[in-house]
Structure 1
Amino acid sequence: MQVWLAADPQRLPADAATAWQQAHAAGVAVSVVAGMAASHDADWPAGTAAIVDGLLGIGLNRPADGTMAWWIGQINRSALPVFALDIPSGLFVDTGAGAPAVRAQRTLTFIAAKPGLLTLDGRDCAGEVDIAPIGLDYPPDETPHCLVNGPALFSAALPRRRHASNKGTHGSLAVIGGNLGMTGAPRLGARAAQFLGAGKVHIGFLAQPAPLFDPLHPELMLHAVDALALAAMSALVIGPGMGTDANAHKQFARLLQAAPLPLVLDADALNLLAADPALAGALAASGAACVMTPHPLEAARLMGVPVADVQRDRPAAAAALAAQWQAVVVLKGSGTVIAAPDGSPCTLNPTGNAALASAGTGDVLAGMLGALLAQGMAPLAAAQAAVWIHGRAADALVAQGTGPAGVTASELYAPARTVFNQLLAGARA
């Protein structure tokens, strides 16, 4: 093993200087290689098996440049396995932003998980993450910046399945959208809702005439959107394939004026809200419990900012949206962020993978979320559960050799059902 110091030992920060002195006192041979940064490549020793990255830590507050950027580039081009200490060098600890940043196969982080390891570029840069407590606990008087999503946060709220129940016990959900040329989107959401336990699932189509039935899932009830019996519903999903034309606007406004049912607002429902303050006012006046599921571009439209501003600090953007719209916000992307309007710590989701980067997976998530709302879960717990299950289903597909390339949205239904029932069994235990 060789230890290299890529800096001037006389100009080290206090903590690094202490570590330098302790290493010398322990007899560790440290080679100063600060002068290696030049036009040529790093002179990795012959037979080097792996690199341990400890260049930069969690105090980084600006993009790596100069010598540090050169070293990051050399590490990434080395074709060697890379293991990062605490956080990959160049990655911002709170946001997951970082260019350039080391891309490691595994990261050993200390004391607690870091938000930047779980969202934006963090998952690609950190690889597998292990936590080393190093004998220290998180200060009990400090509120965590974010929480890691998992069953501990939502399993107690999962809807129980009793023998003495019927289809009405488990709620009625309507998925509303499906304008001309986009009728597949609400079907994807409605089918997903069935697989996550909704008792009855309806689709309200904007395209006319509405399809008569779903040949793959004849259990679904299909209607023109005007014919939906809203008073019989337990929750609504609005937006998949809805479009933004005049009829979509009219129907959305009508739905917001109906009884204040729990809502999932997705896709074009979010675009309509962003474009019309009157719709935003109608949503606020409805008093409906609401979950919004924007991807970064939709979030940027809702906030009136560039997409780069959203991605620069995803937890902050999700929290700002939740406060602005008084809704639970699911900011989709690598390391989906879930934020509540009460200002409580946001949740970062660790499940899922690149298999979800295909058309329709967002519709599936919206349907799953709607199913949990229809079964009586509160918006925050429903969002946490749906996002975790959705990602876990994708992980299961990849683990069995299906994907990440080529996975289709409808392939998520069955593994999601399996994960959901495993959670229910654990909740009963």
Structure 2
Amino acid sequence: MRNYSTAVYTTAEIREIEQLAAALPGPPALMEKAGLAAAEVARDRLLIYGRTRVLVLAGPGNNGGDAFAAARHLQAWWFKVTLVFTGQRSTLSSDAQRMLDAWLTAGGKIFSGIPENEKWDMVIDGLFGIGLDHHEGRELAGQYLALVNTVNRMNLPVLALDIPSGLGSDSGQVRGAAIRAAMTVTFIGLKPGLVTHQGPEYCGEILLDDLDLNTLSLREPASWIMDQLLAQTLLPPPRSASSHKGTYGSVGIIGGSTGMMGAALLAGTAALKLGAGRVYLGLIAGKALEVDTTQPELMLRPVHEIFKLDQLSCLVVGPGLGMRPDARFWLSSALESTLPLVLDADALNLIATHSSVANLLRKRKAPSTLTPHPAEAARLLNMDISAIQNDRMAAAANLAKKFNCCAVLKGGGSICAVSGGKRYINTSGNPGLSSAGTGDVLSGIVGALLAQGVSSENALLLAVYLHGAAADILLKQQGGPVGMTASEISNTARNLLNQWVYSPEIH
């Protein structure tokens, strides 16, 4: 799958690549290349508007070295550059010292703070980059907090080097405050913090420059971007004219306790509209609902009848399940089955609450898929929500490892963790998904793909991207995210899946 997607590297992996590159024959000059790449981006954007004045912020680490090099190139191209250096030469790395000396040799000046009563057309942020996690305290404070807040108040386009200062490179977590960039030119490889949690709100347009390194040969990545190109390699095949409903499998959904039947109906409708041949709803509320008149194709059953069906391809457990003892019993029964499972909502809470249920999950031989949001993940891992959000990449991987399953940690830049420690960061979706029932719809989509023969890992990846892509289409159609409903996601995802499968550009 990595051949169809863009690799993502943690800070530690980037440092390893840098060390390996330094050992290659010939001078790697990565800092010089990074500075030139940043300067070229700044130059091209400034020339569009005929602007010339640039404020460059250089921090105390290697990100500051990149900024020195960028400033020198811009000045050589006759841009008016003001450079603010917040560190000390003696504490810089040897490479960064050379960049500072080259700036001074070229006639550049250094300011210790932003000059008053001057105006600029662009700001280049070279304060921290990926080095923030090694900065004392790891939270911006003092002069750095003041600098970031001042830049954000300037209302100027900001070009961030590697990652906006104040944003965790691995987590996407804002450390007290962060630069709001219009563009981020990132070096060597993409970082998780650019594309998950709060990262997309701060990075603006992301430009990748690999600095002429073959990163895949230097370091095998464990994480990739989940984008449309990858999603379209995971699609079920076009349907045969001789097929029938049994060809596309049967999904069983267990949930729908009293007062929460809507969740099970949403999941069932999504499974039906995304291609499952048959969908059975095992309602814990019994016969409180004989038929769903808005979706009569759904076959409603008391929950115990679901386990008597021989034709099921998979089970989705959790939408509207509740936390009562009978819900725990039916979840345990599902975990003891040999069917692929999708576990969501209260199924996850029951697993987190009862160790015996968790042990059933860990011992399963058939595929299992977990779909927690951060609060559910915190319960499953016995952690605070803040700890989950501070390292979403690790949390997703820990879920998959602890429970012997595939898992998606939902949220901005949802992270899918699959076998072998592989992780995929989703790039689709928007705040319109922050409404009731959208998680139930996602579970139904995963179930539908499983029923059609898509593998457990691929079903999760495709469903997560498709779910978000449907929300992105609705965002454009509705002019914003407010009021987007889960029911709309199913219809739009169905249309999108049909377009992808039957588009002549793909097949």
TM-score (norm 2): 0.78
Of 116, 130, 146, the match for 2:207:
130
2: CA distance, partners of 1:205 / 1:402: 37
Equivalent residue letter for 1:381: N
Residue 53 of structure 1 corresponds to which residue in structure 2?
Answer: 125
CA displacement at 1:145 relative to structure 2: 4.1
Write out aligned runs for 1:34-113 (5 A): 34-36=112-114, 43=116, 45-46=118-119, 48-61=120-133, 62-99=138-175, 100-113=177-190
Structure 1 gaps, min length 5: 37-41
Deviations 1:19-45 (A, max 9, x none): 323334455x4441x245xxxxx7363
* Change in CA separation of 1:31 and 1:279 when aligned onto 2, cut-off 3 Å: same
Residue 230 of structure 1 corresponds to which residue in structure 2?
Answer: 309
Residue 418 of structure 1 corresponds to which residue in structure 2?
Answer: 495
Equivalent residue letter for 1:143: E
Is 1:16 the counterpart of 2:80 in the alignment? no
1: CA distance, partners of 2:433 / 2:385: 20
CA displacement at 1:92 relative to structure 2: 1.7
Residue 202 of structure 1 corresponds to which residue in structure 2?
Answer: 280
Deviations 1:75-114 (A, max 9, x none): 2222333332221011121221222211223322223211
CA displacement at 1:351 relative to structure 2: 0.9
Residue 236 of structure 2 corresponds to which residue in structure 1?
Answer: 159
Residue 48 of structure 2 corresponds to which residue in structure 1?
Answer: none
Identity of aligned residues (%): 41
Equivalent residue letter for 1:22: A
Deviations 1:133-178 (A, max 9, x none): 3433314141214210124445444221222211111111112111
2: CA distance, partners of 1:25 / 1:170: 70
Runs (4 or more) in structure 1 with deviation over 6 Å come to: none
Deviations 1:56-85 (A, max 9, x none): 121221223322221111122223333322
Is 1:146 the counterpart of 2:239 in the alignment? no
The DSSP-based 3-state class of the residue aligned with 2:154 is coil
Residue 182 of structure 1 corresponds to which residue in structure 2?
Answer: 260
Contact 2:361-2:404 within 8 A present in 1 as well: no
The DSSP-based 3-state class of the residue aligned with 2:266 is helix
Residue 39 of structure 1 corresponds to which residue in structure 2?
Answer: none
Contact 1:373-1:382 within 8 A present in 2 as well: yes
2: CA distance, partners of 1:414 / 1:121: 29
2: CA distance, partners of 1:89 / 1:302: 32
2: CA distance, partners of 1:415 / 1:18: 55
Is 1:291 the counterpart of 2:369 in the alignment? yes
Contact 2:315-2:334 within 8 A present in 1 as well: no
2: CA distance, partners of 1:170 / 1:291: 20
1: CA distance, partners of 2:121 / 2:490: 42
CA displacement at 1:6 relative to structure 2: 3.4
**What number of residue pairs does the alignment pair up?**
419
Contact 2:231-2:465 within 8 A present in 1 as well: no
Is 1:378 the counterpart of 2:455 in the alignment? yes
1: CA distance, partners of 2:499 / 2:92: 50
Residue 57 of structure 2 corresponds to which residue in structure 1?
Answer: none
* Change in CA separation of 1:297 and 1:132 when aligned onto 2, cut-off 3 Å: same
Of 405, 412, 417, the match for 1:334:
412
2: CA distance, partners of 1:101 / 1:64: 8
Residue 393 of structure 2 corresponds to which residue in structure 1?
Answer: 315
Equivalent residue letter for 1:378: S
Structure with the larger helix share: 2
